Amino acid sequence: MALIRFTEQPAFRNPWAEFERIRQGLDELSNSLIGQGRAHIHATVYPPLNMYETKDALILKAELPGVHPDDLEISLEGDTLTLQGKRLRKLDDKATSYHRREIAVGNFSRALALPTKVDLDNMKATLADGILTITLQKADEVKPRQIKISTD
Amino acid sequence: MSEQELQVQEKQMVQQEGEATKPEKYFIPAVDIFEDEDKVTVVAEMPGVKTSGVDVALEDDVLTIRGHQEDDAPKEGRLLLQEYETGSYLRRFTVAETIDQDKIQATMTDGMLTVELPKAAPAKPRKIEVQAG
């Protein structure tokens, strides 16, 4: 007997198929409104992060302009990575009038669950040109391993 | 002020007239602009832009700030999470004051661009003594 998915049943047998079709249509519409090409996720906690995975490492990137390395704290506990810090701006005492103030100052703290186990002793973080790059080596047990086939 | 929690600011794309030939994305950098007696200072947030990638020009009272960012995504690997987009930065301002063009200074530190526009001599406030006569 061939298996038929519930949503793939003919319309007269499945009243939900029409709803499914509408839902897919709405998804496509909202994706096309978000932007050209790839839609990104809207971060709700500062700073927004980009994460990449390579064969044996996780690379995290964050834009932290104006943050001094001394004001930034990164900690890793189990598979939870925490970024904490503050952005301060020394205000010019002489400045008599502000015309625009768009750059926010303040504290931030973000905790992130990592998707894989990482080697706790082997993490590297650099902050250059306002971009933070954290490189985490994957733990040995989750690294891909090649299995040699022996012939007897 | 410093106790405040930082909020995520979504990057705004520059609305360009016409189409660009290069498939580049331009974002509007957040700026602070303040003025004192001798100069106007513009501070712009441009993470990922190196000193060599900054282009500041003042032409016909229009200040153009452009920061070119090279794609710094790792060569290999796949994207697991994308919460921000990368691209170059562009913003233009009309400067009302008379600026001494030769003395404009720009510095780039930690992804923040600071442009100092010294006011030309006649624009500086001058106190006029009222003589009793």
- Residue-wise pLDDT for A4-52, tens only, equals 666 666 656 667 777 888 888 887 777 666 544 455 677 788 888 888 8
Quick check: is A12 in a domain? yes
Kindly give, in sequence order, each residue whose CB lies less than 8 Å from that of residue A132, ignoring residues fewer than 6 positions away.
A47, A60, A61, A62, A63, A64, A67, A72, A83, A125, A126
Work out the minimum CA distance from A17 to partner chain B, whole angstroms: 32
ipTM above 0.85, yes or no: no
- With beta carbons under 8 A apart, name residues in chain A contacting B48: 63, 129-131
Of B83, B85, B108, the CB nearest to A49: B83
What per-residue confidence (pLDDT) applies to B15?
Answer: 74
CA-wise closest residue to B82 among A76, A64, A43, A31: A43
Residue in chain B closest to A47 (alpha carbons) equals: B8
Quick check: is A152 in a domain? no
Residue in the block written with tokens 């995975």: A53
What is the number of domains present in chain A? 2
Q: Do A59 and B77 touch (CB under 8 A)?
A: yes
Work out the minimum CA distance from A128 to partner chain B, whole angstroms: 7
Region of residue B22 (phi > 0: left; psi between -120 and 50: alpha; otherwise: beta) = beta
The verdict on B83 touching A (C-beta cutoff 8 Å) is yes
Distance separating alpha carbons of residues B68 and B22, to the nearest angstrom: 13
pLDDT lower than 70: segments of chain B: 1-3, 17-19, 122-126
Do residues A78 and A117 share a domain?
yes
Assign residue A114 the CATH number of its domain: 2.60.40.790
Q: Do B1 and A65 touch (CB under 8 A)?
A: no
Work out the minimum CA distance from B99 to partner chain A, whole angstroms: 16
* DSSP H or E stretch at residue B35: strand B31-35
Do residues A3 and A73 share a domain?
no
Quick check: is A118 in a domain? yes
Do residues A55 and A12 share a domain?
no
**Per-residue pLDDT tens digits for B31-48:** 999 888 888 899 999 998
Do residues A35 and A53 share a domain?
no
- Could you give the count of Cα atoms lying within 13 Å of B47 in the half-sphere of its Cβ? 23
Do residues A20 and A59 share a domain?
no
Residue in chain B closest to A66 (alpha carbons) equals: B110
CATH 1.20.120.140 fits B39-71+85-121, yes or no: no
What per-residue confidence (pLDDT) applies to B123?
Answer: 57
Q: Do B9 and A92 touch (CB under 8 A)?
A: no
Quick check: is A71 in a domain? yes
Q: Do B73 and A46 touch (CB under 8 A)?
A: no
What per-residue confidence (pLDDT) applies to B6?
Answer: 83
DSSP 3-state of A118:
strand
- Interface size between A and B, measured as CB pairs under 8 A: 156
Range of the domain at A120: 49-90+105-142
Residue in chain A closest to B87 (alpha carbons) equals: A63
Distance separating alpha carbons of residues B100 and B95, to the nearest angstrom: 12
Distance separating alpha carbons of residues A65 and A46, to the nearest angstrom: 12
Mean pLDDT of chain B: 84
What per-residue confidence (pLDDT) applies to B36?
Answer: 84
Quick check: is A151 in a domain? no
Distance separating alpha carbons of residues A56 and A143, to the nearest angstrom: 6
**pLDDT over 90 (residue A140):** no
Burial tier of A101 (Cβ tally within 10 Å: 0-12, 13-18, 19+):
middle
Distance separating alpha carbons of residues B17 and A25, to the nearest angstrom: 32
CA-wise closest residue to A117 among A55, A58, A51, A48: A58
The verdict on B50 touching A (C-beta cutoff 8 Å) is yes
What per-residue confidence (pLDDT) applies to B1?
Answer: 45
Q: How many CB atoms lie within 10 A of CB B74?
A: 16
Do residues A70 and A137 share a domain?
yes
B88-94 and B26-28 as β-strands: parallel, antiparallel, unpaired?
parallel
Residue in the block written with tokens 């979504």: B10
Q: How far is CA B26 from CA A56, A106, A144, B16, B55, in A?
A: 33, 26, 39, 9, 14
Do residues A30 and A56 share a domain?
no
What per-residue confidence (pLDDT) applies to A12?
Answer: 65
DSSP secondary structure of B97-131? S-B-GGG-EEEEETTEEEEEEEBPGGGS--PPPPP
Do residues A14 and A79 share a domain?
no
- With beta carbons under 8 A apart, name residues in chain A contacting B41: 92, 95
- With beta carbons under 8 A apart, name residues in chain A contacting B78: 52-53
Do residues A59 and A111 share a domain?
yes
Do residues A33 and A68 share a domain?
no
Work out the minimum CA distance from B79 to partner chain A, whole angstroms: 4
Q: Do B4 and A130 touch (CB under 8 A)?
A: no
**What CA dihedral angle connects A14, A18, A23 and A25, to 10 degrees?**
140
**Per-residue pLDDT tens digits for A61-99:** 999 998 989 999 999 888 889 999 998 876 666 667 888
Quick check: is A125 in a domain? yes
